[in-house]
């Protein structure tokens, strides 16, 4: 097993005109802490939404808008904050994201009203999406990038149980504010990151609006595909025309025309869809085939998810020098093996092994594919490219549960 060197491909904003080089010597733990708490917003509410519905006097379906708002905000916030970073520099983007996370945490923790909770959750989603993109762009090696993606997966594995414990000890509203733990990393990252002057080019507001429209339509495809699908086609056409007219705009032509970047982003989408679909499907399989209770299922699923998150750090580092073709085959094959086990396995241990494989494939693939996607685009477009890469992964996280739900009908 070869040890990756510090020159391994990793996302960077170096090369952008007028920008200072990325901060050197920042400990890898700080970008990981900056990114990891995003997963509290995705997975944390799963066990506490019934408490929220009871206290608010609403149906469970109504309070799920809290999670929907976070997911939508993360999806649109990822490319938007990447564009802000590329235009204004990491320091200003980091400060703006910190303000959003702090505001959102105050709203969800202090105001027991569904509209305010939805607004606060969306603000946290926007801010933590930016934190994650910035953290990945600060990674100086495949090993540090693997630590960032491993933190996302590990926090996601622990998030339901941690949020439930916080809700019992304090309140479910405080549990909804757990993404704010990412603020602990902001002072250290600001210390290590030099100020960057903004480039002279104007901000491509039309490109930002078109990409936001496309992402919003994509998020709704699993829920209302005829209308959303038509909107996706229209938004794709308009965005394509805009990219041709302004190739250096919010969606750089150098990114969408890079075959390796498109391949890595597409595979990241597929791995996320499989993994999050399995997370949704496995409780029903364990309950139906083994007769386990909900609490037993939650405790059992913690271990395969933790395995995937923790092991991914070493896997990303071990495959740092592998060619693109190798990682493009390896991680989808691991995910396919997990799906095959889930389809064929009845004993709970087999189903949990299937979850471990899909979790490992998604967490490792996110880190390995991100490094190669970043290396496939010019340096000046890498911050934007990381935002769009993460967007593809997060869209997979939205599609997976919807596909799994259709399979269980």
Is CATH 1.20.1250.20 the classification given to domain 27-197? yes
* Class (C level, CATH) for 254-409: mainly alpha
Of the listed ranges 130-139, 235-244, 335-344, the least confidently predicted one is 130-139
Confidence of residue 276 (pLDDT cuts 50, 70, 90): confident
Q: Which is more confident, 289 or 194? A: 289
Confidence of residue 402 (pLDDT cuts 50, 70, 90): low
For residue range 248-274, list pLDDT tens digits in order. 878 888 888 889 999 999 999 999 889
Distance CA 18, CA 16 (A): 6
For residue range 291-310, list pLDDT tens digits in order. 776 567 777 888 888 888 78
Residues of the chain with CATH 1.20.1250.20: 27-197, 254-409
245, 371 in Cβ contact below 8 A? no
| Burial letters 161-191, b for 16+ CB under 10 A, else e | bbbbebbeeebbbbbbbbbbbbbebbebbbe
- The whole-chain average pLDDT of the chain stands at 81
| Burial letters 340-352, b for 16+ CB under 10 A, else e | ebbeebeebeebb
pLDDT above 70 as % of the chain: 87
Measured at the CA of 21, the angle between CA 18 and CA 24, to 5 degrees, comes to 165
Distance CA 263, CA 257 (A): 11
Question: Mean per-residue pLDDT for 137-161?
Answer: 77
For residue range 40-84, list pLDDT tens digits in order. 988 788 778 778 888 888 887 678 788 878 888 888 887 787 777
pLDDT above 90 as % of the chain: 24
Please state the pTM of the whole predicted model. Answer: 0.74
């Amino acid at each position: 097993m070869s040890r990756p060197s510090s020159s391994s491909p990793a996302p960077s904003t170096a090369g952008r005109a007028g920008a200072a080089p990325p901060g050197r010597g920042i400990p890898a733990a700080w970008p990981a802490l900056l990114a990891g708490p995003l997963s509290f917003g995705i997975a944390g509410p799963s066990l506490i939404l019934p408490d929220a519905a009871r206290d608010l006097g609403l149906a469970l379906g109504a309070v799920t808008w809290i999670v929907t708002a976070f997911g939508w905000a993360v999806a649109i916030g990822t490319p938007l904050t990447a564009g802000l970073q590329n235009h204004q520099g990491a320091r200003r983007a980091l400060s703006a994201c910190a303000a959003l996370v702090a505001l959102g945490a105050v709203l969800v923790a202090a105001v027991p009203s569904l509209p305010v909770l939805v607004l606060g959750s969306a603000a946290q989603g926007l801010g933590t999406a930016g934190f994650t993109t910035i953290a990945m762009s600060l990674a100086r090696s495949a090993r540090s990038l693997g630590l960032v993606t491993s933190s996302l997966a590990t926090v996601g594995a622990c998030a339901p149980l941690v949020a439930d414990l916080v809700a019992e000890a304090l309140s479910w509203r405080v549990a909804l504010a757990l993404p704010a733990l990412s603020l602990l990393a902001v002072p250290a990252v600001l210390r290590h990151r030099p100020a960057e002057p903004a480039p002279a080019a104007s901000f491509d507001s039309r490109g930002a609006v078109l990409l936001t429209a496309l992402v919003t339509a994509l998020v709704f495809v699993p829920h209302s595909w005829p209308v959303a699908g038509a909107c996706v086609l229209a938004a794709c056409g308009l965005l394509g025309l805009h990219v041709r007219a302004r190739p250096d705009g919010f969606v750089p032509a150098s990114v969408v025309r890079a075959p390796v970047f498109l391949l890595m982003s597409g595979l990241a989408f597929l791995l996320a869809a499989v993994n999050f679909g399995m997370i949704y499907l496995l409780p029903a399989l364990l309950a139906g085939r083994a007769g386990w209770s909900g609490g037993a299922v939650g405790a059992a699923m913690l271990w395969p998810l933790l395995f995937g998150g923790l092991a991914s750090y070493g896997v990303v580092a071990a495959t740092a020098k592998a060619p693109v073709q190798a990682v493009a085959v390896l991680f989808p094959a691991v995910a396919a093996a997990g799906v095959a086990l889930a389809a064929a396995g009845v004993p709970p241990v087999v189903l949990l092994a299937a979850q471990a494989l899909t979790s490992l494939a998604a967490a490792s693939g996110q880190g390995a594919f991100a490094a190669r996607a970043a290396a496939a685009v010019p340096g000046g477009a890498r911050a934007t490219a990381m935002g769009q890469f993460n967007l593809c992964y997060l869209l997979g996280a939205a599609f997976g549960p919807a596909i799994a739900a259709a399979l269980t009908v």
